[in-house]
Chain A
Amino acid sequence: GESVGLHLPTLSVQEGDNSIINCAYSNSASDYFIWYKQESGKGPQFIIDIRSNMDKRQGQRVTVLLNKTVKHLSLQIAATQPGDSAVYFCAEGGSNSGYALNFGKGTSLLVTP
């Protein structure tokens, strides 16, 4: 089946800088997208989601942008903190995938002091 992938496997940023994590998806029928954060030894935790009828959604220090034209999703983290260090996954879903979420490979974010 079609898959979700990430542009960069690792990203290193300095504390206080903004981070941008990118994700490309290939299934144009996907209508729901989620970003998860996974810390070492833990299960993924929900960060923010967006539906295909939106192109931007903001949370606390995070913003998700969806560009359906080029099938691209990004997660922006403002004023990155050491606690943001983790692996970030994007996932897509919809009726075409049987409602199950399909995950990308993940980007490791490392925040340096």
Chain B
Amino acid sequence: GAGVSQSPSNKVTEKGKDVELRCDPISGHTALYWYRQRLGQGLEFLIYFQGNSAPDKSGLPSDRFSAERTGESVSTLTIQRTQQEDSAVYLCASSLRRLNTEAFFGQGTRLTVV
């Protein structure tokens, strides 16, 4: 597609439920990132995928968070047993394989845990 696409754009879930967020990167971009942005805050790094290399999971806040990516395409971020503090906008970005290149962001998924 023309840009990074995320779905759903909004998600309201009950505390304790699992949620799955989807990201479609720009075609040809081998690097994919997930970030979390709480209201009025900066971007918090969660996880990074680069091609077939092992992902950098150092930013995942707990074992309730996991992410997968199939090859160099779609990625899903799963949050199990959601808590109210998980409420945030989850942003996905992709970039070309080269080191130090611009990352293009999607519009984000706004997650509200009630």
B91 close to A (CB within 8 Å)? yes
* A 33-65 binary contact with B (CB < 8 Å = 1; else 0): 010100001111110010100000000000000
CA distance A41 to B37 in the complex (A): 11
Q: Does B65 contact A (CB under 8 A)?
A: no
Binary contact readout A68-108 vs B (1 if CB under 8 angstroms, 0 otherwise): 00000000000000000000010101110011111111100
List of A residues within 8 angstroms of B103 by Cβ? 34, 46, 101
Pick from A45, A51, A103, A104: contact of B35, CB under 8 Å = A103
For residue A31, CB closer than 8 A to chain B, the reply is yes
- CB of B1 within 8 Å of the partner chain: no
Residue of A with least CB distance to B106? A43
* A99→B33 CA distance, assembly (Å): 10
Are A43 and B107 interface neighbours, CB within 8 A? Answer: yes
Size range of the chain B interface in the assembly: 20 to 34
Contact partner of A102 (CB less than 8 A), chosen from B31, B45, B108, is B45
Q: How far is the CA of A42 from the CA of B44 in the complex (A)?
A: 16
Q: How many residues of A contact B (CB 8 A)?
A: 26
Give the contacts of B1-21 with A (CB-CB under 8 A).
Answer: 4
Q: Are A99 and B50 in contact (CB under 8 A)?
A: yes
B114 within 8 A of A: no
Nearest-CB residue, chain B, relative to A99: B99
CB pair B42–A98 under 8 Å, yes or no, is: no
Contact A101:B33 (CB < 8 A) given known A42-B107, A43-B106, A51-B100:
yes
A93 to chain B: closest residue by CB: B100
The chain B residues found within 8 Å of chain A, CB to CB, are 4, 31, 33, 35, 41-45, 48, 50, 56, 58-59, 91, 93, 99-100, 102-108
In the complex, given contacts A43-B91, A51-B100, what are 10 additional A-B residue pairs having Cβ atoms less than 8 angstroms apart?
Answer: A42-B107, A46-B102, A46-B104, A94-B99, A99-B48, A99-B100, A100-B45, A100-B59, A101-B103, A103-B35
